[in-house]
């Protein structure tokens, strides 16, 4: 799998490999007929999971963004408190963790020094550790009590794309498993979530059809020097990762922010030179999502009054958004907690095409390495 397979760059190939990465990560672990998730590989007993008091998630870069999405997923599915930390900051926070807690270390490479140091810190304080890694038998995977492998295949490009969506799928599966073990989810609810997981790869394939539109956006915006990426709730880590993708490969400054927080400062910067990329999807079956969507519509109207150009990621069938935003990229309808897995795809494509339009080496950005083995 580690040649370009006819694609011009590894990053584009890996963006298009995401449906298969999701299939390989999800399908072996669920049974729709029995409405159960099986994660025996975490090697932590059901009793221990039922007694679990709290979960800490620790990671770096894109993996930490997966962790933030996982925080929303696990809290909602299993009703367990979840904290998320930067791996490089974890040891300085003197984390008050111990027995009866699990620390999930998320790392594509399984070799990131900051994350490895955080794993050792958590173990020293008596916490069990679970590694979410894309590399079998990597250092961090070997040192964990349990491992949840993403099966995204080798990720060569420096910017993480297919590992990211597979990490979010694994964290959703873990939340579903925890909810199942702790009796938080009815059989019917589990079956519905499993059905949505199994439908994801096909929906991601459909989302990839927005590639030509993302390329056109790059032709219009590639000379812009600053972007603000915004997202609310579980969409906030998507905004964060969209901004990181653009920074990593195109060297364009971009900041990811919670949408609601943008009024506490950042909107002062908005004018016709600072475009806003905003996650404005809506799960119409989720009243909370509808409320958040209405707030996002109000935010966008404010941005337009400040002459900012707005690129919105919206849910197909939304007839209002194209009238509000300057550009709207649609993704298929998806439940709130799983929508980040689709929403990030146009942002990955946007970052890719912006970089290619600028004539830069998208697979080998300057100063970056695939796994940072120094703290
Ligand atoms: C950074 C990469 O160096 O390391 C990011 O640029 C990545 O893309 C981060 O998310 C963490 O790497 P890993 O392998 O621990 O997930």
Best of 14, 61, 156 for a ligand 1 pocket test (most atoms within 8 Å of beta carbon)? 61
Rounded to the nearest integer, the mean pLDDT of the chain is: 96
- Give strand pairing partners of 330: 314
- Residues 74-83 have a mean pLDDT of 97
Residue 61 tokens read as 């870069």
- Residues 225-235 have a mean pLDDT of 98
Domains 10-206 and 207-357 share a fold: yes
Best of 60, 85, 156, 250 for a ligand 1 pocket test (most atoms within 8 Å of beta carbon)? 60
pLDDT digits (tens, 9 = 90+) for 12-64: 999 999 999 999 999 999 999 999 999 989 999 999 999 999 999 999 999 99
CA-65 nearest atom, ligand 1: 10
Distance between Cα 160 and ligand 1 center (Å): 7
| CA distances in angstroms from 128 to 165, 190, 270, 277, 371, listed in the order given | 25, 26, 45, 38, 24
Query: Is residue 75 lining ligand 1, measured as CB closer than 6 Å?
Result: no
- Residues 315-329 have a mean pLDDT of 98
Query: Is residue 134 lining ligand 1, measured as CB closer than 6 Å?
Result: no
pLDDT recorded at residue 370: 87
Cβ-in-10-Å burial (0-12, 13-18, 19+) of 320 comes to: middle
pLDDT digits (tens, 9 = 90+) for 108-121: 999 999 999 999 99
Query: Is residue 107 lining ligand 1, measured as CB closer than 6 Å?
Result: yes
- Residues 130-148 have a mean pLDDT of 97
Distance between Cα 109 and ligand 1 center (Å): 8
Dihedral of alpha carbons 151, 229, 338, 104, sign: positive
Query: Is residue 290 lining ligand 1, measured as CB closer than 6 Å?
Result: no
Q: Please give the model's pTM, rounded to 2 decimal places.
A: 0.97
Best of 10, 14, 59, 62 for a ligand 1 pocket test (most atoms within 8 Å of beta carbon)? 62
Residue nearest to atom 9 of ligand 1 (CA): 61
Query: Is residue 108 lining ligand 1, measured as CB closer than 6 Å?
Result: yes
pLDDT higher than threshold 60 for residue 102: yes
Query: Is residue 115 lining ligand 1, measured as CB closer than 6 Å?
Result: yes
**Under 8 Å between Cβ of 189 and 328:** no
Residue nearest to atom 5 of ligand 1 (CA): 61
Residue nearest to atom 7 of ligand 1 (CA): 61
pLDDT digits (tens, 9 = 90+) for 255-272: 999 999 999 999 999 999
Query: Is residue 160 lining ligand 1, measured as CB closer than 6 Å?
Result: yes
pLDDT recorded at residue 96: 84
Report the C-alpha gap between 213 and 281 in whole angstroms: 17
Residue 289 CB neighbours (<10 A): 22
pLDDT digits (tens, 9 = 90+) for 329-352: 999 999 999 999 999 999 999 999
Residue 132 tokens read as 């979410």
Query: Is residue 81 lining ligand 1, measured as CB closer than 6 Å?
Result: no
**Domain 10-206 belongs to what topology?**
Rossmann fold (3.40.50)
Distance between Cα 43 and ligand 1 center (Å): 26
pLDDT higher than threshold 80 for residue 2: no
Query: Is residue 118 lining ligand 1, measured as CB closer than 6 Å?
Result: no
CATH architecture of the domain covering 207-357: 3-Layer(aba) Sandwich (3.40)
Distance between Cα 115 and ligand 1 center (Å): 10
Distance between Cα 371 and ligand 1 center (Å): 6
pLDDT higher than threshold 70 for residue 223: yes
CA-109 nearest atom, ligand 1: 14
Query: Is residue 157 lining ligand 1, measured as CB closer than 6 Å?
Result: no
pLDDT recorded at residue 336: 98
Report the C-alpha gap between 26 and 165 in whole angstroms: 11
pLDDT higher than threshold 60 for residue 1: no
* Domain spans, the chain: 10-206, 207-357
Query: Is residue 88 lining ligand 1, measured as CB closer than 6 Å?
Result: no
CA-160 nearest atom, ligand 1: 8
- Residues 70-80 have a mean pLDDT of 97
- Residues 204-218 have a mean pLDDT of 98
- Residues 316-320 have a mean pLDDT of 98
Report the C-alpha gap between 95 and 268 in whole angstroms: 35
Distance between Cα 63 and ligand 1 center (Å): 7
Please, which pLDDT band fits residue 100 given cuts at 50, 70 and 90? confident
């Amino acid at each position: 799998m580690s040649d370009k397979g006819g694609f011009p760059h590894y990053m584009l190939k890996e963006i298009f490999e995401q449906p298969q990465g999701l299939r390989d990560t999800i399908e072996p672990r669920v049974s729709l007929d029995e409405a159960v998730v099986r994660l025996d590989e975490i090697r932590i007993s059901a009793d221990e999971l039922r007694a679990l008091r709290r979960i800490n998630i620790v990671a770096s870069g894109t993996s930490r963004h997966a962790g933030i999405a996982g925080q929303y997923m696990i809290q909602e599915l299993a009703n367990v408190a979840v904290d998320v930390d930067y791996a490089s900051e974890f040891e300085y926070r003197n984390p008050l963790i111990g027995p009866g807690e699990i620390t999930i270390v998320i790392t594509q490479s399984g070799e990131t020094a900051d994350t490895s140091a955080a794993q050792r810190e958590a173990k020293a304080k008596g916490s069990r550790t679970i590694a979410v890694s894309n590399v079998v038998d990597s250092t961090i995977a070997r040192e964990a009590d349990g491992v949840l492998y993403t099966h995204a295949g080798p990720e060569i490009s420096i910017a993480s794309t297919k590992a990211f969506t597979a990490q979010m799928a694994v964290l959703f599966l873990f939340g579903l498993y925890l909810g199942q073990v702790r009796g938080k989810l009815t059989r019917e609810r589990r079956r519905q979530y499993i059905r949505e997981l199994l439908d994801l790869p096909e929906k991601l394939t459909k989302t990839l059809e927005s590639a030509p539109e993302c390329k056109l956006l790059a032709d219009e915006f590639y000379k812009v020097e600053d972007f603000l990426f915004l997202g609310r709730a579980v969409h906030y880590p998507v905004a964060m990762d969209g901004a990181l993708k653009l920074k990593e490969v195109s060297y364009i400054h971009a900041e990811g922010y919670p949408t609601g927080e943008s009024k506490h400062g950042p909107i002062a910067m908005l004018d016709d030179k600072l475009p806003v990329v905003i996650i404005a999807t809506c799960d119409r079956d989720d009243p909370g999502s509808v409320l958040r969507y209405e707030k996002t519509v109000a935010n966008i109207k404010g941005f337009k009054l400040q002459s900012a150009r707005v690129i919105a990621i919206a849910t197909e069938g939304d007839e209002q958004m194209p009238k509000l935003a300057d550009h709207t990229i649609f993704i298929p309808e998806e439940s709130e907690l799983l929508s980040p897995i689709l929403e990030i795809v146009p942002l990955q494509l946007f970052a890719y095409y912006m970089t290619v339009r600028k004539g830069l080496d998208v697979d080998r950005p300057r100063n970056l390495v695939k796994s940072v083995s120094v703290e």
